[in-house]
Amino acid sequence: MNKSNLSQQSVIVNLFGSLSPICLNFSPAENVTLFDLKRTIYSRIQIDPDQVYYTSSGKCLTEDEQIFENEQVKFKILNLNLRLLGGKGGFGSMLRAQGGKMASQKTTNFEACRDLNGRRLRTVNEAKRLADHLEQEPERQRIRREKIQKRITEGMTEPPPKKIRFDDTEYLKASEEMKEKYLNYQKKVLLPKSKLVN
């Protein structure tokens, strides 16, 4: 290594995304400012200097600021960041407006939560319901068999005769008149035959 390399000051600029860092060497006599650094980087990666800003240890640097505080500083790391447009805003006020409503609507459904073993409560509750269902299955089978047996016995026994009260008087009169006419007609028809037999 020659003496000129030892007296140089180095700057590593971390770029954004998948771009690899750039290492630049300057002599201490140059008194490099951020403006000079921006021009050098622009010549290498063609990024508009107005669209980026530089930070060192979280502090934003200005264009007239010197990169190295003194000649004893031999090494400096800078981060190149893109300037991004701000958002629409108003989200905080929307949250404040809904804050009261959200607090009043407390949930009673905790099935999406997990227990201490990491299982969802919905799964645990379903397993309990299934176990209860299977436990009560013999009782349901017994009740089902009893119902079927009851239907069979009801089907085998003769139903008791139903007493029907008939209140249609006109029909009864017409029926009685028909009976009388039939009996009279029968007498008329059968009477001469009996006379013939005698």
In a domain, 134, yes or no: yes
In a domain, 190, yes or no: no
Judgement on whether residues 74 and 27 belong to the same structural domain of the protein: yes
Tell which residue, 61, 5, 4, 8, has the closest CA to residue 37. 61
In a domain, 142, yes or no: yes
Structural domains counted in the chain: 2
What pLDDT is attached to residue 1? 45
Tell me which H or E stretch contains 9: strand 9-14
How many residues appear in the chain? 198
Judgement on whether residues 74 and 126 belong to the same structural domain of the protein: no
**CATH number of the domain where residue 55 is located:** 3.10.20.90
Note the pLDDT tens digit of each residue in 42-82: 888 887 778 888 888 888 888 888 878 777 778 888 888 88
In a domain, 173, yes or no: no
Judgement on whether residues 27 and 75 belong to the same structural domain of the protein: yes
Burial of 148-174, coded b for 16+ CB within 10 Å and e otherwise, reads eeeeeeeeeeeeeeeeeeeeeeeeeee
Q: Which range of residues forms the domain containing residue 147? A: 121-156
Burial class (CB in 10 A: 0-12, 13-18, 19+), 11: buried
What pLDDT is attached to residue 196? 52
**H helix intervals, 105-168:** 121-135, 137-156
In a domain, 101, yes or no: no
Looking at 82, 109, 134, which one is the last position of a domain? 82
Note the pLDDT tens digit of each residue in 119-137: 999 999 999 999 999 999 9
In a domain, 187, yes or no: no
Q: What secondary structure does DSSP assign to 11-54, as a single string? A: EEEEPSTTPPPEEEEE-GGG--BHHHHHHHHHHHH---GGGEEE
Judgement on whether residues 28 and 77 belong to the same structural domain of the protein: yes
The answer to whether 35 touches 64, Cβ cutoff 8 Å, is yes
Burial of 17-46, coded b for 16+ CB within 10 Å and e otherwise, reads eeeeebebebeeeeebebebbbeebeeeee
Q: What is the mean pLDDT of residues 81-97?
A: 74
Find tokens 């059968």 and name the residue.
190
Note the pLDDT tens digit of each residue in 159-178: 778 887 777 888 889 999 99
